[in-house]
Structure 1
Amino acid sequence: MLLVRGVQNLPKDWRGCALTIGNFDGLHLGHRALIERTRLRAQELGLPLTVMCFEPTPREYFRPQSAPGRISNLRSKLADFEAAGVEVVVVQRFGKPFCTLSGLAFIDHIIHQHLRARAVIVGDDFNFGAARSGDMGLLRARGAECGFTTESVPSVVVDGERCSSTAIREALAIPDLSRAARMLGRPYRLLGHVRHGLKLGRELGMPTANLYLLRPPALRLGIYAVEAQLRGEPRPWKGVAALGVRPTLGLTHVLLETHLFEPPGDIYGARIEVEFRHFLRPELRFDSLDALKVQMQRDKLDAMALLR
C-alpha cells in the first residue's frame, strides 16, 4: 500500500484512480461497504483503489476543545486500509489553505487536477468544501464535466441502527463493547509501538507495554480485560490494560498500559495490537501506591477469569 502525505506528493504514475473520501474513523462496516464498492469500480477501470482521509479531522481543526475522541489512531486506520485491499492512501493535512477551498475548487484542484479520479464513490451523507458547501448534486454535475463518474453508497444498518462513527463513539463512551464490535465488524482495538514508560508497573509487580496516544480515544477511560497481538507472533496474548491518565500519579496525558499475563520478553519498539474484550471498572485515584498495587492484582484476577 502506498502512503502519500498530501495530494501534491502523489507520484504521477499513481494519478488516475477510483477514489473514496472521508474521515474513516474506526473503519466500520459502513466504511467497508464504501471501500468494497470502490474496489469493484477500480477493477472495472483497471485503476488503483485510492482513499483520501484527513489529519487532523475537520472537527479537530475547527473545534479542538470539543472534538470527539478518536475511535482509531492513524496507525490503526492505515492497518485497516491495507487489510481491506486499499492500494493508495492520501493523508491530506487539514488546515489553511486547504480548508478554505470551496466545493467547486475541491473538485477541480484536488479530485480532478491532483488525483485525476475517474470514479468517485462516497457515503450518502457526504459534504465537502468550505462550510460543507459541496454536495452530491455539485459533485455529479462537475464530475460529468471533468470526466469522472460519481455514486453514493447507502448507509449500513446493524441491529436496526445506522452504522456510523457517531454511534460507535456513543457505544465506546458507555462502554458497550459488544455494540461497538457489531458495527466495527471486529472487537475494538488500538494499535501502536511499545514505548518506554516510568517503569512503575514493574516496580509494582505488573510490568506493562505502553502505547502513547497522540489524541484522546473515544473509549471510556478505565481498566479492561484484553487480548494483544504482537507482530510476528502467531498467537494472541491475554492481559489486563489500563487506559487513562494515571490520576494517582497526578498525570494528565492519556496512556494505554497493557500487562500481559505471560512474560513476552523484550518487546520495546514492537508493534502491538490491543483488543478490548471486557470492561472491568472506571479509572480511579488511589491514596497510595500500595492501595493501587492491591487493586491492580484484583484487576488481573478479574481479567483472567473473564478471559478463560
Structure 2
Amino acid sequence: MNTIQNISNFSTSEKTYVTIGTFDGVHFGHQKIIDKLVLEAKKANRKSVLLTFFPHPRMVLQKDATIELINTIEERAELLKKTGLDYLIIHPFSKDFSRMTALEFVRDILVNKLNISKLIIGYDHHFGKNREGNIVQLTEYSHLYDFIVEEIPAQDIDDVSVSSTKVRHALATGNLKTANNYLGYNFMLSGTVVNGKQLGGKIGYPTANIDVKESYKLVPKTGVYVVKSTIDNNTVFGMMNIGSRPTVDGTYQTIEVHFFDFNQDLYNQYLTIELLYFLRDEEKFSSIDALIVQIKKDEKTARDYIKNKL
C-alpha cells in the first residue's frame, strides 16, 4: 500500500476504484466496505484507493467538541496496510476544504485527481459543503462524469452490527471483549516510554510509563488490563494500569505497564500496547501493602489468562 499525504501529491493515468471516509477504528463494518473495494478493483484490473481526512472534520468544524478517536492517524494507516489497498490518501481537512460544494468535490477530487471509475460507499454517505451531497447527487454526477456509484445497503452494514460509536462505548465501560470483537483486532495504545516516579520498582513491579501524545486518542476505562507488546521483534506480555494511582497519590492519570519476565531499559522507546483482557476496576487500598497483595493477585490472574486463553 502506498500512503500519500495530501491529495495534491497523487496522480495516476490508471482508472481507480475509490471509497471515502474517516474509517475510525477500521472495524468490521469498515472492513466489509474495504474488502469489497479491493476485491472488485482487482477483478476489474483497477487500483483501489481509500481517501480519508485528518484532522477529523469535527476537530476543525466543532472546535469546542470533545473528540475521542479509536485510532491515531498512524495506527489507522498501519491497520489499513493489512487490507490490500493500493493507495491510502490522507488529505488535510480544513475550513477551506469544507466549503467545497458537492459538485466541486466530485469534479475536482474524484474525477480530475483520482481518475475514478467506480465509487463504493457506505449507506447514507454525505459529503461536500454542509454535507449537502448524498447518494442522489452522486448518482447524477456519476452519469455526468462517467463513473459508477455503488452504495452498500443498510441491511449489509446492519448485519455486521458494528459502528465506531459502539466500539467507543464498549471501551469507555470496560467491555474490552466486545470492543475487540467489533474491531476484529486488539484495541491499542501507542506512545513513548517516559520517566515516572519509580514507585513500581520500589514495590517489585517496575513499570513503563506510556505517554500518548495525541490528545484526541481515546483512553479506555480506568482499571487493570492484561496486555502485550512487540519489543525487539519479541512478543512480551504484561499488565497495565490506567488511572490516577489513588493508593499512592491520586493526582493525575497515568498509563503504566509492567511486563512479565522482562528486564530491559525502555526509556524513550515508542511502544504499541495491545489490550487483551480487562482484569478489574481501579481501587484505592488502605495501604501500600494491601496494594501489593492485590497486584500479586492480578499477576496470577493475568498469567493464567495468558496461559489458558491465548
Using structure 2 for the length normalisation, give the TM-score. Answer: 0.83
Distance, in Å, in 2 between the alignment partners of 1:66 and 1:81 is: 27
User: Does the residue aligned with 1:89 lie in a helix, a strand or coil?
Assistant: strand
Distance, in Å, in 1 between the alignment partners of 2:47 and 2:285 is: 53
Distance, in Å, in 2 between the alignment partners of 1:67 and 1:229 is: 31
Displacement, 1:161? 6.6
User: Does the residue aligned with 2:112 lie in a helix, a strand or coil?
Assistant: helix
Distance, in Å, in 1 between the alignment partners of 2:107 and 2:210 is: 40
Distance, in Å, in 1 between the alignment partners of 2:244 and 2:86 is: 37
User: Does the residue aligned with 1:111 lie in a helix, a strand or coil?
Assistant: helix
Distance, in Å, in 2 between the alignment partners of 1:135 and 1:46 is: 28
Whether contact under 8 Å (1:20, 1:122) holds in the other structure is yes
2:302 is matched with 303
Equivalent residue pairs, number:
301
Residue segments in structure 2 that go unaligned for 5+ positions in a row: none
2:223 is matched with 222
1:5 is matched with 5
What's the % identity of the aligned pairs? 28
Look up the equivalent residue of 2:194 and give its one-letter code.
H
Distance, in Å, in 2 between the alignment partners of 1:19 and 1:275 is: 30
User: Does the residue aligned with 1:97 lie in a helix, a strand or coil?
Assistant: helix
2:106 is matched with 107
Distance 1:78 1:305, change over 3 A: same
Structure number with larger C-alpha Rg:
2
1:196 is matched with 194
Whether contact under 8 Å (2:211, 2:255) holds in the other structure is yes
RMSD (Å) for aligned C-alpha atoms: 2.9
Residue segments in structure 1 that go unaligned for 5+ positions in a row: none
Displacement, 1:297? 4.8
23-32 vs 241-250, greater mean Cα deviation = 241-250
Distance 1:264 1:132, change over 3 A: farther
Look up the equivalent residue of 2:96 and give its one-letter code.
P
1:168 is matched with 167
Distance 1:240 1:124, change over 3 A: same
Distance, in Å, in 2 between the alignment partners of 1:177 and 1:30 is: 18
Displacement, 1:298? 5.0
Whether contact under 8 Å (2:72, 2:217) holds in the other structure is no
Displacement, 1:128? 0.9
Using structure 1 for the length normalisation, give the TM-score. Answer: 0.84
Displacement, 1:65? 4.0
1:185 is matched with 184
Distance 1:119 1:265, change over 3 A: same
User: Does the residue aligned with 2:299 lie in a helix, a strand or coil?
Assistant: helix
1:243 is matched with 242
Distance 1:251 1:26, change over 3 A: same
Look up the equivalent residue of 2:6 and give its one-letter code.
G
